[in-house]
Amino acid sequence: MIKLKACLLFLCILGMQLNATAQTIDLFADSVSKPSNDIITSSFKTTRIVNGHSIENVGAGILDFKIMHRFGAINQGGYEFFGLDQATMRMGLDYGLTKNLMIGIGRSTFQKQFDGFVKYKIIRQQVGEHNIPISISYVGSTIYKSLKNATTIYEPYVSDKFSFVHQILFARKFNDYFSLQLTPILLRYNIIENVNIPNDFYSLGIGFRQRISKRVNITTEYFYRIDKLDGYYDPLTVGVDIETGGHVFQLHVSNSTGMTERTFINETTGSWGKGDLRFGFNISRVFTLKKPKELKNLKF
């Protein structure tokens, strides 16, 4: 336990160190007199691997409308039409403020959750004069569970229903066919059920993309819970990404129902071993709300 937490701390320190190095070499300076560096792009097809954030951002001035849909457990049988009679959904809007910074908001029917996040690119993988082998981003999220509590003696405060998540994303695109990402995560509950349960939970996510064809990719993500809540399982999701112009369809099978970090990392009730799996899909559609500066004077 201590060693794993120490490992997460080391990864965070590594990210800050690489960030300092990037500032020294002036990664994003625009100067024709300096040797060019090729930024590696498209490590993943969308800003989500499936549930979890990927290293990718939407571009500046781009709005991404994302629908995430999950059906019920397949092992419920024909009476529930193998889970298709049940469904939960998250609708979200992600927007690129700059080339390095994006924000997003969402609303989930599961536990009636609201969520918001910021994602910032610290370092981009690049080759050339300054070779940087990995990309690093930070994601900070806030989750509000608006589901009404059962009537009890204790009257909860509004702040009791908030959870907070901090993530550092380490990703590398090895070639046009394979990308890998590691994500150390800290999840904090503002309030817990009893004093024997910690407020802070650490976990480590791993995800990858394997290209099958020009528009089809296999994606997989798994989150290992270092600190565990009893009665829950580690989430594992396997999916297929299909790109069609302005849309990206993500079809997948998972043992998780929730679509926020609080629920899919820490509160997954399904088990792959028991066949408690759910079919789901994500749809992403992007819109250009603000044209890049270099295109403003062009007429179409």
pLDDT digits (tens, 9 = 90+) for 174-209: 999 999 999 999 999 988 877 788 899 999 999 999
Residues of the chain with pLDDT under 50: 2-4, 9-10, 12-33, 294-295, 298-300
Confidence at residue 135, expressed as pLDDT on a 0 to 100 scale: 96
Where in the chain are the domains?
A: 2-26+62-147+159-291
Q: Which residues in 92-114 are b (16+ Cβ under 10 Å) and which e?
A: bebbbeebbebebebebebbebb
User: Rounded to an integer, what distance in angstroms lies between the CA atom of residue 44 and that of residue 181?
Assistant: 10
Select 2-26+62-147+159-291's CATH number: 2.60.120.260, 3.30.360.10, 3.40.630.10, 2.40.160.40: 2.40.160.40
pTM higher than the cut 0.75: yes
Q: What is the DSSP string of 55-75?
A: S--PPBTEEEEEEEEEEEEGG
Cα 210 from Cα 191, distance rounded (Å): 39
pLDDT digits (tens, 9 = 90+) for 120-143: 999 999 988 888 999 999 999 999
